[in-house]
Each structure stands twice: as C-alpha cells, then as structure tokens.
Amino acid sequence: MNYIVLDLEWNQSNTGREPEVKELPFEVIDVGAIRMDEDGRMIGEFNQLVKPQVYQNMHRITSRIIHLHMQDLLRGQPFPEVMKEFLEFCGEDYLLCTWGTMDIGEFQRNMKFFGMDTFSDGPLKFLDVQKLFSIAFEDGKSRRSLEYAIDFLKIEKDIPFHRAFSDAYYTGKVFALIPKETRVYYSFDTYVVPQSKEEEVFAEFPTYMKYISREFGDRHSAMEDKEVSSTRCYLCNKNLRKKIRWFSTNSGKHYYAAAECPVHGPMKFKARVRKAETGGVYIVKTSKFIPEEKLKELGERRAEMVKKKKEKRKGQS
C-alpha cells in the first residue's frame, strides 16, 4: 500500500463582489500530493492548478497567503480533469494523509458539486499527520502548525510554504519521521456519514474505541438510540451499569457518561453531536479507560451542570 500525502488550497467568495454558492463555499484551486511507500520514501509527485468554475475573483486573503492570482489559475485545468489525473496518480491501493482534518471533506464536497463520485460512500479512513505528530512527539492533544513540526524535527526548509505541493512535501517529510506503530491511530472523514445501522463504524485503537453512528433527525432522537447511549466495555463487550448518567454541556454538543467494568476498570464515554451534510445529525462516541480520580472529577462536573440547570429553571419560573 502507498500513502498519498495531500494538500489543497481553495478560494472563496469575495463579499460584495460575488455571492457565495452554498453548495460550494470553498472551491479547490491547487492540488499537491506526494506518493510515499511503506518505509516513508517519496516515490511520486502531483502538482496541478485548478481553473476556477465558480469564483472568478481571487479572495484577497487567499491571494496574499498562497501568492496566486487569477491569471495563474486560468492556466490550470477544470476540476474534473484534475481529479481524474489525481486518482490515476493515487493508483489502486492507497491511504490518504493530510495535515489536519479539513482538506478531505472539502475535496469530497468539490467532487460532489462537479458531479463526481466521492472517495467513499461512508466515513473515509485516512491519516491525520498533525494528530500523529502530537501522539508521537507531544501530548496527543495539542495541534501544532506544519511549520512548527518542521522546526521541531529540524527538517530543512528547502522550498517555500503555503502552496499545495510544498505543504504536501513538508507533511510527507514529517510523516516519514513518525514511528510506524503510531500509524494505527487513523482518523475518519465524515463528509459522507452512515445511513443505516449496518454501515455504522466501530474502530478500536490501542487506548480508546471510536463509534460513528448513522444519521438521525435531531440530537434528542440520536441520544435515545440504544447503541449511542450504551456504555459497553469494548474489551469484553459487556454492557455496564452507568456510574454517571449521560449529561450534556451547556452547548448540547457534547454528552458525557461513565461506567465501571469489573475486569478492566472505570470508563469514560464522550458523545459529540455533529451536523451531517444532508441536514440531520450523527454521533461520534469515544470510549476510554480512566483512573479513579478522573471518574470522580467527571461526577463533580455532572453535579455542577445539574445545579446550574436547576438554578436556570428557577430563575425562569
């Protein structure tokens, strides 16, 4: 299998000069990629400008950052032609890699807008090199800029930043230095979400479990679903009695619960409510083991949230 390290640049509407197209807020204008083998060696390059079809004026901030002008883009090819060449470049057996999580979703949005099939008909597995850098060299939670990682790893800056090809090139340089065992922490792009129970995603990692639900009409119906609200130990597959019942933050976008497996110990469950492209919502739930003190902290947090809600109701009555 090859790794396709991808980076994109995109343009958007200029306020007052041309309206935003709701179906395509960001039009891809520059596609860069590096093909790498299992050992992290660069074995191929892709570098292509895209001739704009939607936004005919270059956004001033975009132009300043990436040093591209509309006359440069007019020498490019239409997106479907660039995409056809890119897929040929990728070959049959490959895994996409990006710095961060945005590029693949916007790539697929452009594919759909121009009448092409997306990469996948469900959540797409890929490697987020930004996350892998954090897991390999920092705390696993921080998210650094690409240039920070280059400096941290003392990689030579031999070409300018902020073009699709150069950023793909540097992302590939970072990827080559990440230990192979870290690659098991893959991510999912959810531009296309599961539409049935059979298509839902269950992915087990060395330190946690991730579940991606099918689409629901709203967050309330989602949180009432048995699978979404379950507190199951992913190691022994036993349904556990909740020690801390599900509660939400003020935003209603995150829900938390906890249970204790008699074999493997306390577990924390976090359910994030996300909007689907088609209008509904879906849930990304993570399950992980935590120490007793973290279980206590979560219980105190729930008690505090319950108290705040009671005070708010009292103030409204």
Angle at CA 87, nearest 5°, toward 174 and 100? 35
pLDDT in tens, 61-109: 777 777 788 888 999 999 999 999 999 999 999 999 999 999 999 999 9
Assign 67 to helix, strand or coil. Answer: coil
Instruction: Express as a percent the part of the chain with pLDDT over 90.
Output: 83
**On the CB side of 79, how many CA atoms lie within 13 Å of its CA?**
24
Where do the domains of the chain lie, and which CATH numbers do they carry? 2-184 (3.30.420.10), 194-316 (no CATH)
pLDDT digits (tens, 9 = 90+) for 25-56: 999 999 999 999 999 999 999 999 999 999 98
pLDDT at 317: 63
pLDDT at 63: 73
Mean pLDDT of 104-119: 97
The answer, yes or no, to whether residue 250 has pLDDT greater than 90, is: no
What are the backbone angles phi and psi of residue 228, rounded to the nearest 5°? -60, -45
Predicted confidence (pLDDT) at residue 15 exceeds the cutoff of 70 = no
Of the chain, the end-to-end C-alpha distance in Å amounts to 62
* Sign of the four-CA dihedral 220, 106, 145, 137: positive
Q: Choose among 118, 24, 15: nearest CA to 57.
A: 15
170 band by pLDDT with thresholds 50, 70 and 90: very high
